[in-house]
Amino acid sequence: MKKTIKDVNLKNKRVIVRVDFNVPLDANLNITDDTRIRETLPTINYLKRESAKIILMSHLGRPKSKPEEKYSMKPCAKRLSELLKQEVKMAPGCIDPETKKLAMNLQSGEILLLENLRFNEGEEKNDPNFANELASMAEVFVQDAFGTVHRAHASTAGIAKYLPSCAGFLLEKEIVYFSKALENPEKSYVAILGGAKVSDKIMVIENLLNKVDALIIGGAMAYTFLKAKGISIGNSLVEQEKVDIAAKILKKADDKNINLFVPIDHIITTKIDGSAESKETAGVEIPDGWIGVDIGKMTIERISSVILSAKTIVWNGPMGVFEVDKFANGTLQIAKLIAQATAKGAISIVGGGDSVAAVKKMGLSDKMSHISTGGGASLELLEGKILPGIAVLPEK
C-alpha cells in the first residue's frame, strides 16, 4: 500500500496537494456539479487539523497552454470557500513571483489555490523545470487527484521527484476499492461494460476475462459483438474493423467458461432523437433501417439474477443512449440492480461519466460501495496498467 497523509509528519508544513477540480461549468461559469470538490474535503480538513499551510493545484478544461478566463480556477476557489466556510486565496498564476510570495506567507490552516496548471505548457509536457518550480513552494506533496493519475504530467508524476510524497484520502480510497476488484475479488465477480466503442474497452475486457465469472456487455459496443455472432443489427453503430476482435473475445470467454452476456432484445429507433419513432424488438435481430439504442426487457430480466447473486461488481459505461430519457431505461435498471446487490453485501464499483450520472439521476449514489472520480484512470486500472501518478508514490 502507498504511503498516505497519515504516514507523514505534516505539522505546520507547507503542503502542495494535487486535486481534481476539473468540474463542469455553465455559460456563466457557475459550477453545475461540485462532486469533485466535495470529494477532496476529507484530505483538506485533515491537513487543516494538522495546522498545515495548504497549496492546492488542479487543471480545468482544455486550455491551449495559455491563460483563458473561461478556464480559470476562480469558480472553484469560490465554491471551496463556501464549503469550508473560510477564505480560499486565489493565486494569480502557478509559479510566478507573486504566487510564490503568497505561498511562502501562508499561515497554518490557510489555503491557496493555484491558477489552472494547464495555462503553462510545462504541465502536460511533464517539464522537470515546471515540476521543480511547483515543488519549491512546499515541503510535502500529496496526490489526491485520481482523475489525473493516468497522465504523466508535471503536477502528477514530475513533482514527486522533488518532494516527500504520499496519497490523500480520496486516492487511497480509489486504490483500496480497485485493489479489491483486481487482486482478490470475492466471487462471483461480474463486470458490466457499456459505452459506444469496443476499441475503448478491448484492453479492459482482455484483462477482466482472467478474473471475472461473468461479463455483461451493453451500449453501442454490444452491436459489434452481435455482428461478430452473425446477427442482424440493422443500422446500429458498429466498429467494422473490430468485429474480428469481438469474435476472438467471444471465443476466449467460451474457452474459459465465462458467461458473456450480450443483449437478446433491444429498444430500437429510426433516428437517435427522443421524438423519433421507437419500439421494443421481440428478439435479438434488428431490422434494416432501425438503430439499437438500449437493451430491452428480456435482456434486463436475463441478467438481473447474475447481478443480484454477485459479490463483486464493476460497472463502466451505459447500456444505451442514456442522454435521451426515452433510451435510458436499461442503464437505470442496471443501476437499481447493482444497488440491490450492494444492499445484500456485494462490493460495487461504478466508474465512467455516464454510469456515474445514471446512479446520481436515480438517487442511488449512497447505495453503491464506491463511485470512482476518474473515468480514464479507472479504465486504465481495469486494463491492468501501472498509472504514473500512483507509481511515483512511495510504499509504506
Q: Which one from 100, 180, 197, 360 is the annotated catalytic residue? A: 197
Beta strands across the sheet bearing 165-167? 88-90, 111-113, 53-57, 14-18, 140-143, 165-167
Interacting residues of 144 by C-beta distance below 8 A, sequence separation 6+: 17, 18, 19, 20, 40, 43, 167, 168, 169, 170, 171
Helix-helix angle 221-228:243-255, to 10 degrees: 80
Q: Which one from 353, 367, 384, 385 is the annotated catalytic residue? A: 353
Assign residue 100 a region: left if phi > 0, alpha if psi is -120 to 50, beta otherwise? alpha
Closest CA to 238 of 256, 262, 274: 262
Distance, in Å, from the CA atom of 347 to the CA atom of 233, rounded to the nearest integer, reads 34
Q: Which one from 2, 18, 36, 53 is the annotated catalytic residue? A: 36
Q: To which H or E segment does residue 55 belong?
A: strand 53-57
79 is catalytic: no
What does the block give as the cell for 194?
A: 457499456
DSSP 296-308: -HHHHHHHHHHHH
Distance, in Å, from the CA atom of 314 to the CA atom of 147, rounded to the nearest integer, reads 17
Closest CA to 137 of 84, 96, 87: 96
Distance, in Å, from the CA atom of 157 to the CA atom of 150, rounded to the nearest integer, reads 9
36 is catalytic: yes
Rounded to 5 degrees, what angle do the CA atoms 196, 199, 203 make?
Answer: 120
345 is catalytic: no
Cell 477482466 belongs to 208
Q: Which one from 326, 376, 384, 385 is the annotated catalytic residue? A: 376
Distance, in Å, from the CA atom of 299 to the CA atom of 231, rounded to the nearest integer, reads 16
122 is catalytic: no
Interacting residues of 302 by C-beta distance below 8 A, sequence separation 6+: 261, 264
Residues classed as catalytic: 36, 197, 353, 376
